[in-house]
Structure 1
């Protein structure tokens, strides 16, 4: 069963193609990666997919938004708000914080139960600005789950985290998949997509260079890591 289908997605800024005919499918219940270095077209692809940007061509289905769909709200987190206040706000129709998108919502879960599940109960009254990096990422994931979504998109979720917080976030992403949620992971860290993703699409210059499991992509390029595979694919496309 396909959770998301994207075919020949295009977005042009002036004469520069940011997304040049991207095609991929996301299977229900998997962690699907959209990987590539900065400027590869990853975020523009996702923003077109979920309705934050209007694509110039192509088709997309299953992400809960068309060209005229209202965009999910994005913005900086209020440093004075507590995790409990942010979770309660999400329960009342909020859309989480920057970097997390909730798609295909089902009837909302009880935010208190979600907070406890993600170990945020004891922090519910603590100011957001006082949380550690790992606690903030855990809060963002919890906010995404208040709406009990079928699909979540995580955009550069571990940027700036220390190694311990990064590994903890990886565990939480795996927990999302184990709960039945489909995860789209957007990342420029190839070790991250190699460790977490069931399948992925590698982007460079707005085009998909390869899709498949990490093992399939490495085997096809004769490389020992996704980072090496990326450079092999990028060089072959020039």
Structure 2
């Protein structure tokens, strides 16, 4: 399979010595949906900015449809469509007017109206196309954003956190649209997301990004299949002796990959359900207990835990704390 996107050794550092990318490598096969999965602050949006010519890396190279993004950015912009996190549509114009203007900016001339009507029908915007965009719901706005990205028939479509902030119903509707797009005319889709379920459901291939590096990649099934046995997840109560609990599980035969993240303790076993009474007894003997216990099939959260040593929700919380600290520090200067 030929590659639509190739990036090697991307490094990007922002003021304050914030290293957004730390040698990131990805290869995206033509005609596939490729998911960049990671918590906020992992480097996903910076990667998209570089690949769409909106930022330059400090180090590394990147090709989109065989075109060097640093040497020929104008050519790259003609073969890509971009749906950014923040909409670029004119709120005071109608959906149809936004689409026609987008087409004319790409030199489509009279063909812009025909293409706009095609996308309005395809993305179920017929009822709203004549209304000003400022009256659109979040889900309607995102469908229009996707239509804008498709106006000039790009070879590669970038979707940067396309469902962030949407309600569950709107998110599910947009998932359906992305799935339909992926099957049309060999369109390549690069999707960034911090939703585990979104990557699992939509992406043919997933690269898990943590602190500016790809730590694991493959199909969702390949990544989950690399974890042998089922997972036992325990939430420990406040005041529990966390180290004692971890040691108690690690000493049990038939229990592997014991990891502690915050007050969440996880382990794997070929007979996870059968090991629960044994695990609880070991915790009791160690002088602690579990507030809750669940047994689950391997998930992308488990993959993330294996490769980073942190639970995904803990990484999201850490990213939020770091962002708040940077804002507070900046305000105090």
Q: Please state which band the TM-score falls in when normalised by the shorter chain.
A: 0.7 to 0.9
Among 1, 20, 23, the alignment partner of 1:21 is 23
Contact 1:51 1:65 in 2 (8 A): no
Q: Which residue pairs with 2:115 in the alignment?
A: 110
Q: Which residue pairs with 1:139 in the alignment?
A: 144
| Higher relative contact order structure (alpha carbons within 8 Å, sequence separation ≥ 6) | 1
Mapped pair 1:204 → 2:207: no
Q: Which residue pairs with 2:307 in the alignment?
A: 233
Measured in 1, the distance between the counterparts of 2:166 and 2:302 equals 23
Measured in 1, the distance between the counterparts of 2:157 and 2:93 equals 23
Number of positions where the alignment pairs a residue of Structure 1 with one of Structure 2: 224
Contact 2:32 2:189 in 1 (8 A): yes
Measured in 1, the distance between the counterparts of 2:222 and 2:45 equals 24
Contact 2:38 2:209 in 1 (8 A): yes
Q: Secondary structure at the match of 1:123?
A: coil
Q: Which residue pairs with 1:102 in the alignment?
A: none
Q: Secondary structure at the match of 1:121?
A: coil
Q: Secondary structure at the match of 1:149?
A: coil
Extract unaligned runs of 5+ from structure 2. Answer: 232-297, 311-333
Q: 1:137-171 CA deviation, whole Å, 9 max, x = no partner?
A: 11111111111111100001001111111110000
Q: Which residue pairs with 2:236 in the alignment?
A: none
The structural deviation recorded for 1:82 is 0.8
Q: Secondary structure at the match of 1:164?
A: helix
Q: Which residue pairs with 1:85 in the alignment?
A: 97
Q: Secondary structure at the match of 2:226?
A: helix
Deviates more, 1:219-228 or 1:113-122: 219-228
Q: Which residue pairs with 2:198 in the alignment?
A: 192
Deviates more, 1:107-116 or 1:37-46: 107-116
Q: Which residue pairs with 1:182 in the alignment?
A: 188
Mapped pair 1:127 → 2:135: no
Measured in 2, the distance between the counterparts of 1:51 and 1:221 equals 37
Deviates more, 1:68-77 or 1:227-236: 68-77
Runs of 4+ in 1 over 6 A off after TM superposition: 71-74
Contact 1:31 1:197 in 2 (8 A): yes
Measured in 1, the distance between the counterparts of 2:101 and 2:305 equals 43
Q: Which residue pairs with 1:104 in the alignment?
A: none
Contact 1:43 1:186 in 2 (8 A): yes
Contact 1:2 1:25 in 2 (8 A): yes
Q: Which residue pairs with 2:11 in the alignment?
A: 10
The structural deviation recorded for 1:136 is 1.2
Q: Secondary structure at the match of 2:221?
A: helix
Measured in 1, the distance between the counterparts of 2:52 and 2:180 equals 23
Distance 1:120 1:65, change over 3 A: farther
Extract unaligned runs of 5+ from structure 1. Answer: 95-106
RMSD of aligned residue pairs (Cα, Å)? 2.2
Measured in 1, the distance between the counterparts of 2:30 and 2:55 equals 24
Measured in 2, the distance between the counterparts of 1:190 and 1:84 equals 34
